[in-house]
């Protein structure tokens, strides 16, 4: 066991060294190229809280959303969980300058970013326990270490609008959903466990980005999750449950419209015409390997394609500039999948004893919005924000039928803590009716039920209350309560109350 542990540790260290070695390479490139390209700087304002705190005398960068892609460092400084929001995710946030535990490393970080190199190292843990209800009492720990690299080739080599993004994670821990709350992972209270838990290192994305026509057109190509920039909202990660952070899991669970940390070959384009409107579409392979356990299986073998589409409007309303995001989208999956209930002759599988009929195409569509309705102060997101999403699956072979989510976020209500926030989310997911019918027939016939449950599944609900607190430079603590109605989407186990926290450290 010691030898195995040592070999894993060496392997992880080797992967970290590979990413960090890019620092030396990029710095050498910087020194060898002309530095005539004027670097673009973020517009800044001075925000001074009423009370003395670590915010005082900080210059707070305001990242504007007018067709300007947010860089990886900007996204990581949001104070939320590291999530697959993508380098072109446009957002309005305000944070302390150099909000990292290690700070600016004596100017090294700023100097490297000025010359086109940025890196991310984040530790995140989510510890949750089942304190009331569910299958039994108990607590689990999970963690996620994020290692990311972003190269701006326009600054480094003069390649206008060209950049490269790479990010990998290391995950470990236990799942409170299956250890204590119930027996199925239909809901994941710990977002950092989720898909791909307990891996030493997994590549999440590695792709090139090209912006054209003054960033009116942005094209990505490479290895990335198919829904990384579709149907996603960073506001969902004010919560811990994967049902909202950062993508509606009811539309992506056990689908080929994959969420992070799974990656596949793909290409997408986003057009930002004017008036805060955008349209984006992509083409991604349906991969039988999905990158393999470590994400480095780059095979081009594919069983079909996933084609996502999304239209959006991102207004800033009134004199208080109340920001909002409105989107309508969906996807089509052209790969083949078996119907869980109906056989090839049209009768129930349990009656005909024949294989399920093949579904040639499936997909989903969604509508989502968030809107600030009241502003406490000048900082971005410093106000009351309403959030909503509804999505519907279109396919007999998908595990869920629909998802509805509502939320409210109040950030910066205390003048001395402008990025602290309290949030509340409610979500209801419905199980695919064909799965329910199959389980009902199995129960009537005295057979074991699909998905290993003890009663037919229908729906479940999640209510989650979270507080986001900046406790020191580079460190955030999010105490969390979750109330799960119908664990396992049935009434076998009583409703469960989960309590715990998320802790984030950004280095």
The pLDDT tens digits for 377-406 are 887 788 999 999 999 999 888 889 999 999
Instruction: Write out pLDDT tens, residues 330-368.
Output: 999 999 989 989 999 989 999 999 999 999 889 999 999
Backbone angles phi, psi at 28, to 5 degrees: -65, -40
pLDDT value of residue 303 = 87
Kindly state the average pLDDT of the residues 307-327. Answer: 93
> Quick check: 362 and 395 in contact, CB under 8 A?
yes
pLDDT value of residue 52 = 40
Kindly state the average pLDDT of the residues 261-274. Answer: 91
Kindly state the average pLDDT of the residues 126-135. Answer: 95
Kindly state the average pLDDT of the residues 318-324. Answer: 91
Residue 215 pLDDT more than 80?
A: yes
User: What's the chain's average pLDDT?
Assistant: 80
Structure-model confidence comparison of residues 115 and 60, the more confident one: 115
pLDDT value of residue 4 = 43
pLDDT value of residue 27 = 39
Using only C-alpha atoms, the chain has a radius of gyration, in whole angstroms, of 23
Alpha-carbon gap, residue 317 to 372, rounded angstroms: 9
Alpha-carbon gap, residue 83 to 402, rounded angstroms: 23
pLDDT value of residue 194 = 59
Structure-model confidence comparison of residues 98 and 187, the more confident one: 187
- Residue that the structure tokens 């595990």 belong to: 399
Backbone angles phi, psi at 139, to 5 degrees: -130, 145
Residue 318 pLDDT more than 60?
A: yes
Whether omega before 100 lies within 30 degrees of 0, making that bond cis, reads no
Backbone angle region of 79, left / alpha / beta, with phi > 0 → left and psi within -120 to 50 → alpha: left
Instruction: Mention every residue, 6+ apart, whose C-beta is less than 8 A from residue 22.
Output: 117, 119, 149, 151
Backbone angles phi, psi at 7, to 5 degrees: -65, -40
**Could you say which DSSP state residue 393 is in?**
E
**Cα 48–Cα 51–Cα 53 angle in degrees, nearest 5:** 80
Alpha-carbon gap, residue 106 to 24, rounded angstroms: 16
Of 38-52, 444-458, 463-477, the range with the lowest mean pLDDT is 38-52
Of 69-73, 108-112, 293-297, 491-495, the range with the lowest mean pLDDT is 69-73
Kindly state the average pLDDT of the residues 18-31. Answer: 40
pLDDT value of residue 65 = 26
Instruction: Write out pLDDT tens, residues 55-68.
Output: 333 333 322 222 22
- Both tokens of 492, joined, read 């076998």
Structure-model confidence comparison of residues 246 and 195, the more confident one: 246
Is residue 197 very low, low, confident or very high in pLDDT (cuts 50, 70, 90)? Answer: low
Is residue 419 very low, low, confident or very high in pLDDT (cuts 50, 70, 90)? Answer: confident
Sign of CA dihedral 217, 61, 476, 497: negative
Instruction: Mention every residue, 6+ apart, whose C-beta is less than 8 A from residue 449.
Output: 439, 442, 443, 455, 456
For 142, the enclosing helix (H) or strand (E) is strand 138-152
């Amino acid at each position: 066991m010691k030898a195995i542990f040592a070999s894993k540790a060496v392997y992880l260290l080797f992967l970290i060294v590979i990413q960090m070695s890019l620092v030396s390479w990029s710095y050498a490139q910087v020194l060898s190229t002309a530095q005539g390209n004027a670097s673009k700087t973020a517009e800044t304002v001075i925000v001074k809280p009423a009370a003395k705190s670590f915010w005082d005398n900080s210059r707070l960068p305001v990242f504007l959303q007018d067709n300007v892609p947010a860089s990886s460092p900007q996204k990581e400084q949001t104070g939320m969980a590291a999530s697959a929001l993508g380098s072109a995710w446009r957002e309005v946030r305000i944070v302390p300058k150099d909000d990292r535990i290690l700070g600016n490393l004596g100017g090294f970080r700023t100097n490297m970013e000025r010359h086109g190199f940025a890196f991310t190292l984040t530790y995140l843990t989510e510890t949750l326990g089942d304190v009331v209800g569910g299958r039994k009492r108990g607590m689990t720990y999970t963690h996620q270490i994020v290692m990311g690299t972003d190269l701006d080739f326009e600054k480094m080599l003069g390649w206008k609008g060209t950049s490269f993004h790479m990010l990998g994670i290391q995950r470990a821990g236990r799942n409170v959903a299956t250890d204590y709350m119930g027996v199925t992972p239909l809901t994941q209270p710990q977002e950092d466990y989720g898909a791909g838990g307990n891996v030493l290192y997994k590549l999440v994305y590695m792709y090139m980005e090209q912006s054209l026509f003054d960033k009116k057109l942005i094209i990505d190509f490479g290895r990335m999750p198919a829904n990384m920039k579709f149907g996603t909202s960073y506001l969902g990660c004010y919560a811990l449950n994967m049902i909202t952070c950062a993508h509606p899991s009811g539309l992506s669970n056990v689908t080929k419209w994959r969420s992070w940390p799974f990656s596949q070959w793909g290409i997408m384009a986003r057009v930002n015409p004017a008036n805060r409107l955008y349209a984006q579409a992509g083409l991604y392979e349906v991969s039988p390997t999905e990158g393999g356990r470590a994400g480095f299986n780059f095979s081009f073998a594919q069983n079909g394609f996933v084609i996502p589409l999304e239209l959006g409007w991102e207004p800033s309303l009134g004199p208080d500039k109340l920001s909002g995001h409105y989107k309508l989208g969906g996807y089509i999956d052209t790969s083949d999948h078996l119907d869980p209930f109906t056989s090839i002759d049209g009768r129930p599988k349990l009656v005909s004893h024949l294989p399920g009929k093949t579904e040639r195409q499936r997909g989903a569509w969604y509508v989502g919005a968030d809107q600030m309705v009241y502003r406490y102060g000048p900082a971005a997101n410093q106000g009351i924000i309403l959030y909503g999403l509804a999505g519907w699956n279109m396919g007999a072979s998908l595990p869920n039928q629909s998802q509805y989510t509502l939320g409210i976020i109040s950030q910066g209500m205390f003048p001395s803590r402008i990025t602290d926030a309290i949030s509340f989310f409610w979500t209801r997911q419905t199980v695919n009716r064909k799965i329910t019918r199959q389980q009902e027939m199995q129960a009537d016939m005295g057979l074991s039920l699909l998905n290993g449950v003890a009663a037919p599944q229908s729906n479940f609900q999640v209510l989650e209350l979270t507080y986001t607190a900046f406790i020191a430079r580079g460190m955030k603590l999010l105490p969390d309560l979750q109330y799960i109605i119908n664990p396992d989407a049935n009434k076998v186990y009583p409703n469960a109350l989960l309590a715990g926290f998320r802790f984030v450290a950004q280095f």
